[in-house]
Structure 1
């Protein structure tokens, strides 16, 4: 009999957001595939959990997935975790899940925190339909083209961004989607979490006075989206 893969969503900042089911699942899995074993070790230590950790990140995903598959074929259960949030969504894990499905191995989700849905829930923007685009291109030309496409779609869009590229992102949004609304989320669920909603110009001016630090999630909203969707 083969083992089972548990795809585990972990806290995006506040460890108190870990569900009892997550803690129970991690406690019962002898092997955990982690995006960053050091960060996952802190989570496990906090809850008094001991397990064998193996790295599963973008640079070794193929090799580690094959190793995990061998462990599963021997009958051991495995948990997959990312640094924060849901594995496979802008994080490693998709390759292993796909391999497991193709080998008839059971895959079980352990739902929980997600930066994407957390940001959307407090945006006030229409979210019956939305797009997630992860990190946008670094080069100005490519970034501008993607933002122009987002403007053409006119759909609420969630993106992640590095604190060191926030100014460049906001400047490009000002140039390409000046009439949209933004929700800028910083360090969500952590002690110093911040949320700012306003125009791209307002967000840019505010960002100029903020030290580049922390993790950002940006929601781009369009005032007329709900009316247009209802007409369709």
Structure 2
């Protein structure tokens, strides 16, 4: 009997030639494939002549399917988990399955391959030594601005996925919160026929995307250059102030400054002086 294992298999994000040989071999040999959308993935299976049975595993049935998959693993079966495109679990369902399978004592094996955010970062020209993947921004403008405000002073490159019908609104929110001069990179339809990778100050990017309806179609990754690093002694950033105010309101200025210093890395005396000066 083969070893029971759950493979997390990356599939192409566009160009089918990006399918790695190991992934093909596994998809052909496992007992069942758990796919985000079996109808969508059936085209991939047909292209590579893969006849392995598939079951749907998506946001609405993930916990139920996890139990079924664990039962199959107990019977010694091998399973592959795939998403519609790219690396599973990256802004896609699947983490509940992985967690429950691991908790049940079974082996989980990643099979690396295409990932849109990594491909976009590599080609963006933005710093890649530190980056933060933020997933999708909220659909509502108020929520979007609030999420952006939390990272306005973040120095790492920021990465977002965005839907075509919200791209202009999201770019506009970035311009309002970060300022129109902040550099952004729009990476669209990666590895596909109409691939676009464009870098501009965000205010110019808004105008460019608005003027070209083609840039409002397809799969989109947005990358935002991080904020300039603050020199020591400069003003406190927005996130530090948010933490400081919350803690000071709960436990008082002195203790709030001590706790905020531990959380943010700022000096407690600097935080305490800010509280005193702004009462």
Q: Tell me the TM-score normalised to structure 1 length.
A: 0.94
Paired with 2:188 and 2:153, the residues of 1 have a C-alpha distance of 27
Q: 2:139 aligns to what?
A: 138
Distance 1:150 1:180 in 2: 13
Which residue in 2 is equivalent to 1:187? 189
Aligned pair count? 228
Partner Cα separation in structure 1 for residue 147 and residue 227 of structure 2: 20
Q: Which runs of 5+ in 2 are unaligned?
A: 232-264, 266-279
**Larger Cα Rg: Structure 1 or Structure 2?**
2
- Aligned counterparts, 1:153-232, within 5 A: 153-178=154-179, 179-211=181-213, 212-222=216-226, 224=228
CA-to-partner distance for each residue in 1:61-111, whole Å, 9 max, x for gaps? Answer: 111111111111111100000011111121111111111111110111100
Match runs of 1:71-110 below 5 Å:
71-110=72-111
Contact 1:181–1:223 under 8 Å retained in 2: no
Once residues 36 and 153 of structure 1 are traced to their aligned partners in structure 2, the CA distance between those partners, rounded to angstroms, is: 36
For 1:67 and 1:15, how far apart are their aligned partners in 2? 30
Asked whether the 8 Å contact 1:5–1:108 carries over to 2, the reply is yes
CA distance in 2, matches of 1:181, 1:57: 35
Partner Cα distance (2:103, 2:63) in 1: 15
d(CA) in 2 for partners of 1:161, 1:128? 23
- Could you give the per-residue CA deviations for residues 170-225 of structure 1, whole angstroms, max 9, x where no partner exists? 11111111232111011010011111101001110111122232111000113635
* Structure 1 unaligned residues grouped into runs of 5+: none
In structure 2, the partner of 1:112 is 113
Q: CA deviation at 1:154?
A: 2.7
Relative contact order: is structure 1 or structure 2 higher (C-alpha 8 Å, sep ≥ 6)?
A: 1
Q: Residues 85-139 of structure 1, C-alpha deviation per residue, up to 9 Å, x if partnerless? A: 1111211111111111111101111000101111110111111111111111111
Distance 1:73 1:93 in 2: 19
Residues 186, 223 of structure 2: 8 Å contact kept: yes
Tell me if the contact between 1:37 and 1:55 (Cα under 8 Å) persists in the aligned partners: yes
Q: 2:152–2:227: 8 Å Cα contact kept in structure 1?
A: no
1:208 is paired with a residue of what secondary structure?
A: helix
**What is the SS of the residue equivalent to 2:50?**
coil
